[in-house]
Amino acid sequence: MPREPQTGDRQDLAILVIDEDEIRASIIEEGLREAGHNHVAVLADMRNLLGRIEAIAPDVIVIDLGNPNRDLVEHLSHVSRAVSRPVAMFVDQSDAGVMEAAISAGVSAYVVDGLRKDRVKAILDMAVARFQAYSNLREELESTRRALEDRKLIDRAKAILMKLRGLGEEEAYHLMRRTAMRENRRMGDIARSVVSTANLITGGEE
């Protein structure tokens, strides 16, 4: 898994610049190095892009395009989202459809006609901050979803144990809890095993 960039170590970030134009790429690279970023790689060839990004394993991706079409932006955005990195995208010209495609695909900072050395660091910091905020929110939502799913499974598993073993509700719960502690597993996993086993035995009629 890629390491999540932290606020305190942004000077140590490994940054990948993707740009087919060497002059524009040099502007970004110079701006990043002047801002104190020494780990900067540049890609000018977009063939096998996903594999090359995974091989370089950057913390942050900076994409610079001239006048992109929607298909290219969607392709680059989906590639970047697949490797789960903060992405700052610079474009010379754009329209609402292209910008919407980029943002919906997970681009953290989308900047039109904003390629100047003195702006690169601020935009990079914004991209990292937005990515972290989005990642935290996604993790919280996933944790909530998993907790609700576990709660439903635990309730089903309790009902199964109460019926098949003649236990009270509290006894069934404590049985699963002791099993989870003994096997060093989550309660949700134990409940899932109970439900799966019951379905196998009863054909889904627990």
Question: Mean pLDDT of all residues in the chain?
Answer: 78
**For residue 104, what pLDDT band results from cuts at 50, 70 and 90?**
confident
128 and 158 both lie in a single domain: no
123 and 42 both lie in a single domain: yes
Instruction: Give me the number of domains the chain comprises.
Output: 2
Overall pTM surpassing 0.75 (yes/no): no
- Quote the domain boundaries for residue 80: 7-139
74 and 90 both lie in a single domain: yes
123 and 146 both lie in a single domain: no
58 and 101 both lie in a single domain: yes
CATH classification at residue 190: 1.10.10.10
- 185 in helix, strand or coil? coil
Tokens of 156: 């089903």
CATH classification at residue 34: 3.40.50.2300
Judged against a pLDDT cut of 70, whether residue 135 lies above it is answered with no
Judged against a pLDDT cut of 90, whether residue 157 lies above it is answered with yes
**In the prediction, which pLDDT does 174 show?**
93
User: For residue range 34-60, what is the model confidence (pLDDT) as tens digits?
Assistant: 878 888 888 888 778 888 888 888 888
DSSP string for residues in 83-149: TT--EEEEESS--HHHHHHHHHTT-SEEEES---HHHHHHHHHHHHHHHHHHHHHHHHHHHHHHHHH
How far is the C-alpha of 6 from the C-alpha of 8, rounded, in Å? 5
116 and 73 both lie in a single domain: yes
Residue 104 lies in a domain: yes
**In the prediction, which pLDDT does 131 show?**
67
**In the prediction, which pLDDT does 3 show?**
47
Rg of the chain over all Cα atoms, to the nearest angstrom = 24
**Of 137, 138, 116, 134, the residue nearest 126 (C-alpha):** 134
